[in-house]
Chains A and B, each alone.
Chain A
């Protein structure tokens, strides 16, 4: 199956700073990627859909100015958490449509963000 990577795997930052998380499709092109957030002992919550060459589509309740998404190439989407606060501490996971087999999604390993 297709492989999706994320970088960094873990990041600790101070409150008020911005953090960028990268999501790459390693062996396939992904015109669409998805960003999820997962708090401890909770399920994954879809934050936004990242579209190559166009604006991201955000789910209701997700602040687009706080969670900036850029999908500049067919293999890379980035999520930037701006002016991070402790309540943004979470596990961020990206996903892309896997072309083989068609229909399912490949997920990245996740990025653990801790805001002090």
Chain B
């Protein structure tokens, strides 16, 4: 699986948009970009994933650059409960020996302030 690079920490004011960047310059054509978050002492929670088109769901939006070498997770209106470690992971969705394996990096610690 391709490696990802994320800033170690970010701050955001409550109610504002949180934009979390991720670099994945070695991503392969069959690899998806996944975002998970982990609130303290809990299991990771799925947020969103995409291949090359931008994606949006009830939790967040995912913007993937045209060359797919980087992406941004957007939490449109951050709340205090969004304080967590956010992980950007690239992994093949189907096929290949890495299917199903998610390799976690250090992630970004997002702190939402009142």
Which of A4, A46, A93, A102 contacts B101, CB < 8 Å?
Answer: A46
Query: Which one of A13-21, A65-73, A76-84, A107-115 is at the B interface?
Result: A107-115
Which of B11-19, B21-29, B39-47, B64-72 is the contact stretch?
B39-47
Of A32, A93, A104, chain B has the most CB atoms within 10 Å of the CB of A104
Interface size on B, residues (CB 8 A): 22
A104-B49 in contact (CB<8A): yes
Residues 66-109 of chain B: 1 if any A CB is under 8 Å from the residue's CB, otherwise 0?
Answer: 00000000000000000000010000011000001111111100
A105 touches B41 (CB 8 A): no
B46: chain A residues at CB < 8 Å are: 1, 98, 104-107
Measured between C-beta atoms, what is the minimum distance from B83 to chain A in Å?
Answer: 16
Taking a contact as CB atoms closer than 8 A, the residue among B38, B93, B100 that contacts A32 in the complex is B100
Bound Cα distance from A8 to B3, whole angstroms: 33
Min CB distance A23 to B, Å, is 10
Q: How many A-B residue pairs have CB under 8 A?
A: 56
Within 8 A of B (CB), among A72-106: 91, 93, 95, 97-98, 102-106
* CA of A36 to CA of B101, assembled, Å: 10
- List the A side residues contacting B44 at CB < 8 Å: 44, 93, 95, 107
Q: Is A49 an interface residue (CB 8 A)?
A: yes
Q: Using a Cβ–Cβ cut-off of 8 Å, how many residues does chain A contribute to the interface with B?
A: 26
Give min CB distance, B105 to chain A, whole Å: 6
Tell me whether A43 is interfacial, beta carbon within 8 Å: yes
Residues of B within 8 A of A44 (CB): 38, 44, 104
One digit per residue, 1 when the CB lies within 8 angstroms of any chain B CB and 0 when it does not, for chain A 41-64 equals: 001111001000000000000000
- Can you give 11 contacting A-B residue pairs, CB < 8 Å? A6-B43, A43-B105, A43-B107, A91-B41, A93-B43, A95-B43, A95-B102, A103-B49, A104-B49, A108-B43, A110-B42
- Chain A contacts to B: CB under 8 angstroms: 1, 4, 6, 32, 34, 36, 43-46, 49, 91, 93, 95, 97-98, 102-110, 112
